[in-house]
Amino acid sequence: MPELPEVETTRRMLEPVLLGRVVRDVLHTDPQRYRNTEAMLGKQILKLERRGKYLIFRLDDGLDCLVHLKMTGGFRIPNDKKFLEPPRFERLRLVLHDGEVSYVDSRRFGFWEIVPSNQWQHIKALSEMGPEPLSSDFKLKDFQTAMSRVSRVKPALLSQKPVAGVGNIYADESLWLAKIHPEASKLSAAAAKRLHAAIIEVMARAVEVGGSTLSDNSYQQPSGESGYFQLEHHVYDRTGAACSRCGAEILKYTLAGRGTHYCPDCQRK
């Protein structure tokens, strides 16, 4: 699933293409998954924001378009403003007054919904989401308090409540950097401080290089280019490789239903 770095990369690349444009048409054949999109017609896109793993198109007339990419969703931007052929797995196309943007999704799990501005209460994941890790709202003291209460640290991070946007890839990478086992509980203030710094460092670097594109190529930047943070992974998707810090073999097991990668020497339980 695209996580904060992939969604933020997408937002930054879409912004110059979409900002200020008027939506002339929204083409798709799945009104259950792409809800109320007819409300976008004739509306100007005023801002493009991100909250956790959600994209938020701020439209005029007090409307928001919420987009969650889920497992395999993404955007494609044509080189000449219009597509000569539909991109593979295209599910929706935004027709603007001076160009087009395509939404692709091979597994069809992503969704769009148009709602009144800031009326997101029905989406529990948004209403309960923690602070953004690359903002001043991600305060160390609050994070230390939250982490001192958790029974297992990685599932807590994946819940999105202590901090927004951290999914499976970046939880594993941050825990490795902080030398914390994925099942550690009730972190000390010192351990939580290391993890707080690690999350910021990992997320900032991943955004800088366009996110992570894994072997299935399900995530690509809107330009069609891959992300590059996978070249810097220390544990995620490196089962059996040597730890770059101590040389021990990277292990993988299942925790809370998610494949979890860690170094048994650096991250002792």
Q: Is residue 173 annotated as part of the catalytic site, yes or no?
A: no
Active-site entry in 11, 53, 91, 154:
53
> What 3-state class would DSSP assign to 127?
helix
Active-site entry in 2, 131, 162, 222:
2
Closest CA to 208 of 225, 224, 236, 229: 229
With contact defined as beta carbons under 8 Å apart, do 87 and 94 qualify? no
| CA separation for the pair 207, 13 (Å, rounded) | 12
Q: Is residue 2 annotated as part of the catalytic site, yes or no?
A: yes
Strands (E), the chain: 23-27, 34-35, 45-51, 54-59, 63-68, 73-76, 90-96, 99-105, 111-116, 251-255, 258-262
User: Tokens in use for 222?
Assistant: 């809107």
Active-site entry in 3, 100, 132, 173:
3
Active-site entry in 108, 194, 258, 264:
258
| CA separation for the pair 89, 12 (Å, rounded) | 22
Closest CA to 218 of 108, 129, 86: 108
- The residues carrying an active-site annotation are 2-3, 53, 258
